[in-house]
Amino acid sequence: MTLAVPTARVEQAPLPTPTVPGVAGARLRVPLVDGRTVSYANLDHAASAPCLDAVRDAVDELLPWYASVHRGAGFASQVSTKVYERARRVLRRFVGANDTDTVVFTRNTTDSLNLLAKALPRGTSVVLFDTEHHAALLPWRGPNVLRVQTPAVADDAVAVLDEALRSTPVGPRLVVLTAASNVTGEVWPIKALSAVARSHGARIVLDAAQLAPHRPIDIRALDVDYVVLSGHKLYAPFGAGALIGRADWLKAAEPYLVGGGATAQVVDRGDQLGVAWAAVPERHEAGSPNVVGAHALAVACETLAREWDAVIAHERALLRKLRAGLATVPGLRSLSLFGAEHDRVGVVSFTVDGIEAGLVAAALSAEHGIGVRDGAFCAHIATRRLLGRAGAQEERAVRISIGLGTRAEHVDRVVAALRTLVADGPAVEYAVVDGRWSPVEDVRQLPAFLSE
């Protein structure tokens, strides 16, 4: 590489140091390819966020009481049941839902959207933008699904949605909206889009997986019908998510996952079984509930709700610092749906001229102890289109995503590492192994608990 690295420094005001909730792994050290260890710079929060200290402590407190939920007579079962049902109330408050709205615990956002897709009344028209994450893009199938192209200006999305809804048949309608892009972090104009949907009598489901860890959500203020979210992005990585919203479609639908807990009664009718399904939400929670995951998710939501001012200030300061630093890296091209000045949460995706995204990510990890994501981020259409706008030659990008585990030193480190990579190239030799870039001679050892 012969690109010159600018020597000019970006002058910034000192970062505020708000007190934000602590996360597990804050003191984690990872090995480098040169044999040293460094503190881990986790810049991959958009994929899975670390566990809050408060969540870890709450799970530890619950585990001795862990028992069957709803159907156990033992005292521990009664405790677990109360914990599980309390979590529903917490989730309802967290998104500002009505008392009549239901909370169905699922595995994650993907599970929630697939559940809702199976519960749609026959003939429902579904309208969505084509840059959705695959979790929101793929569950809707059939002739009544209309995918519209995301415009280059956020305000134009309102007119595009209005036109799309005018072309849908009379009958039930559902609009699928992303709250914040997992590729660029940009926040969609949800309130304006919901107003258009309402004018056509449509319901709205909001994919809040990326927005919920960063900012408050209010179903009533946004005027949406359903919110879906994931615990593993909300600092509660214990396998729980939620579908929150209107109960009527869910009450009318048979469960798409059947088994214990989903039934009120099963009788033998000779050549077939007679089944009476349980009430909502239980009919959509077949099997033994994930009480630990639900409790972890509830504690994370309560913790964030108490600390929103500090959380938002922390992330905005770091995002400003990150974007200013990345602007000094030669050949780095940031991706954007709606323009560089559009409101966004702490996510930035980019390419670096002449260096494959997978090699950038591998070098940041092996040489600097930095965790980022490379690829198309389960949003292939969006990423491919944005890369085309940026003039990229490949179909992969690098994504940096910040959160409560991010510190100013992490931002400084990744910017310095990228500048060094552009100026000097990788410090060691890399090759593609099983589809991923990796150091040819990698001396890094896995932790002891993985040793055979």
Q: Which residues span the domain enclosing 280?
A: 106-288
- If asked whether residues 176 and 246 sit together in one domain, one would say yes
Instruction: List the catalytic residue out of 378, 381, 408, 428.
Output: 378
Same domain, 198 and 345: no
Mean pLDDT for each consecutive 10-residue tract of the chain (452 residues)? Answer: 38 59 95 97 98 98 95 93 98 96 98 98 97 96 94 96 96 97 98 98 98 98 98 98 98 93 91 92 95 98 97 97 98 95 97 96 98 97 92 89 97 98 98 95 92 73
Tokens matching residue 123: 């003939």
**How many Å apart are CA 383 and CA 138, to the nearest integer?**
16
In terms of domains, do 191 and 272 share one?
yes
Which pLDDT belongs to residue 54? Answer: 98
Residues 85 and 288: their CA atoms lie apart, in Å, by: 14
Residues 280 and 161 occupy one common structural domain: yes
In a domain, 127, yes or no: yes
- Examine the domain organization and report whether 237 and 135 are in the same domain: yes
On whether both 241 and 322 belong to a single domain, the answer is: no
pLDDT of residue 3: 37
Question: Are residues 213 and 352 both part of a single domain?
Answer: no
> What is the Cα 247 distance to its own chain's centre?
24
- Please count the structural domains in the chain: 2
**Residue that finishes a domain, picked among 257, 288, 319:** 288
pLDDT in tens, 250-280: 999 999 899 999 999 999 988 889 999 999 9
Rounded Cα gap, residues 403 and 314, in angstroms: 8
Give pLDDT, residue 392: 79
386, HSE (Cβ side, Cα atoms, 13 Å):
33
437 in a structural domain: yes
Shared domain for 369 and 320, answered yes or no, is yes
CATH code for the domain in which residue 121 is found: 3.40.640.10
Q: Domain for residue 334, yes or no?
A: yes
Quick: pLDDT tens for 103-125: 999 999 999 999 999 999 999 99
- Residue 211, Ramachandran bin (φ over 0: left; ψ between -120 and 50: alpha; else beta): alpha
What angle (nearest 5°) sits at the alpha carbon of residue 186, between those of residues 218 and 195? 45
Tell whether 120 and 218 lie within a shared domain: yes
Distance (Å, whole) CA 16 – CA 132 = 34
pLDDT for residue 94 = 98
Residue 395 resides in a domain = yes
Do 127 and 217 share a structural domain? yes
What is the predicted pLDDT for the residue at 8? 37
Q: pTM for the whole thing?
A: 0.93
**pLDDT tens readout for residues 288-301:** 999 999 999 999 99
Residue 84 belongs to a domain: no
Task: At 437, list the tokens.
Answer: 């870039």
The reply to whether 347 falls in a domain is yes
Rounded Cα distance between 221 and 100, Å, is 16
| Any domain includes 355 | yes
> What is the distance, to the nearest Å, from the Cα of residue 70 to the centroid of all Cα atoms in its chain?
30
Nearest to 367 by CA among 433, 432, 446, 428: 428
What's 354's domain CATH number? 3.90.1150.10
Q: Is residue 64 part of a domain?
A: no
For residue 440, give both structure tokens.
């040819």
Which two structure tokens, joined as six digits, stand for 427? 């410090």
Question: Beta partners for 350?
Answer: 334, 398
129 lies in the same domain as 230: yes
Residue after which a domain boundary falls, among 254, 288, 322: 288
Whether 301 is catalytic is no
Whether residue 316 sits in one domain with residue 277? no
pLDDT in tens, 384-443: 999 998 887 788 999 999 999 999 999 999 999 999 999 999 999 999 999 999 999 999
Which residue in 183, 238, 236 sits closest to 404, CA to CA? 236
Residues 287-298: b if buried by 16+ CB within 10 A, e if exposed? eebbbbbbbbbb
